[in-house]
Structure 1
Amino acid sequence: MQKPKWVCCPICANKTRIRIREDTVLKCFPLYCPKCKQETLVHIQVNIPDQDVPPDRIEDT
């Protein structure tokens, strides 16, 4: 079983309420941050090293 990880906000770097698995692919996903109250379109491909969200912005659970 794959371990889910938290997606962090690209603006304030805090955890959002979204968890992703290693095989997750998100394209033009509206990521909302409850802390900074900003919505950002993100593109995430976890299994490909060249991703829009830096690895330090995805945390283990």
Structure 2
Amino acid sequence: HGFHVTMGTTMLLVILIRCMKGHFTADNHFGFEAVAWYWHFVDVVWLGLFIFVYWL
């Protein structure tokens, strides 16, 4: 779990730097979208694990 969060945070930092440098346009933003999908996937997995471990 820690590895996934570390990788997600690193990718978000890279995306932030790329955004500040103007690497993304309305037509070219796949990297941004891919990181967003990954981060949301990690969120959903974490919520599932939390419910399974602490509620069930």
| TM-score class normalised by the smaller sequence | under 0.3
Larger radius of gyration: 2
Q: TM-score, normalised by structure 1?
A: 0.22
Name the one with the larger strand percent.
1
Which of 1 and 2 has higher RCO (CA within 8 Å, sep 6+)?
Answer: 2
Name the one with the larger helix percent.
2
